[in-house]
Amino acid sequence: MAIIQNPTTTDVNTVEPTFKTLRTVIKADEAIGSYQLSVATGSITTLAANGAIFSFRWAPGTGQVCIIKRVSIGFNATTGFTTGQQMGYGMYFARSFTASDTVGTAITPILGNANKNKTQSMTSMVTDVRISAAAVLTAGTRTLDTQPLGLTYFYAPTTTAGTHLSTTNLVSYNIDDYPLVLQNNEGFVITNQVLMGAAGVGTAYINVEWFEANSY
C-alpha cells in the first residue's frame, strides 16, 4: 500500500492498493451557525407580475457572510381561477441592498435559539426577512439581477381549488458546489412572475436553509 506523508509533520495518508483510491473525509463547512426557516404568505390574489412575495436581506455591518444552501417554494390554491393560467416564481440576487423591503409580514428579528440547527450556535445575524401578507412587498433600496438564479412555472386550471405546486427547489447546493454567498448589503428576492388572474386565491410557502460564517 502506497503511503503519502506530509513533509512537515508525521501525518500520513494511504492509497488503497486494489482500486487505487485515496482515503479521505469530506470536510464540513466552517460555520458559526446553521439555520433553516419555513414561512407562508397570507391569502394572495391578483398579484402583479414581477412583484416580490419574499425578501431576505443580509446586512450585519461586519465581515461575516451568509451562505445560502437551499431555497424552495410551493403553492396551494384555495379558490380556483376564473380562467386557467400559468403561474411562476423566480429567485433573484439582490445587490446593493442598503434598505430593506417593507410591508408584508416581518419574520425578523430572529431571536434567541429560533431557527438554529444547533442550540449552541450564535443567534442569526440576518437583517430582514419578510413575506407577502396579501399584496406584493414594497421594494427597498436594491438592484436585482436581470436574470433569476432559479425559476419555476406551473399551471392553475379554471375554478379548481387544491391546485398546487409541490415544493420545488429554486436553488440547491451540495457540499462540493460553490453556493450563493451573501456579503454585507446583499440578499435575494422571490417574485411572482405572472399576473394572478381574477378570483384565484392561494398560499405560497417558502423554505430557506443557510449558514453564517466569518469568511468563505
* Cα–Cα distance for residue pair 105/155, rounded to 1 Å: 27
Which amino acid, 84?
Answer: G
* Share of residues in the chain with pLDDT > 90 (%): 75
* Cα–Cα distance for residue pair 115/132, rounded to 1 Å: 20
Whole-number Cα distances in Å, 144 to 4, 77, 147:
48, 28, 8
- pLDDT value of residue 81: 87
- Residue in this structure with the C-alpha cell 410551493, named with its chain if needed: 74
Give mean pLDDT, residues 80-92.
93
- The grid cell for 176 is 462540493
129-178 per-position pLDDT tens digit:
999 999 999 999 999 999 999 999 999 888 778 888 999 999 999 988 99
Give mean pLDDT, residues 8-29.
68
Give mean pLDDT, residues 21-39.
79
53-75 per-position pLDDT tens digit:
999 999 999 999 999 999 999 99
Q: Which residue has the higher pLDDT, 19 or 1?
A: 19
Average pLDDT of the residues of the chain: 91
- pLDDT value of residue 142: 98
Model-wide pTM > 0.85: yes
CB atoms within 10 A of CB 97: 27
- The grid cell for 30 is 466552517
Domain ranges of the chain: 37-213
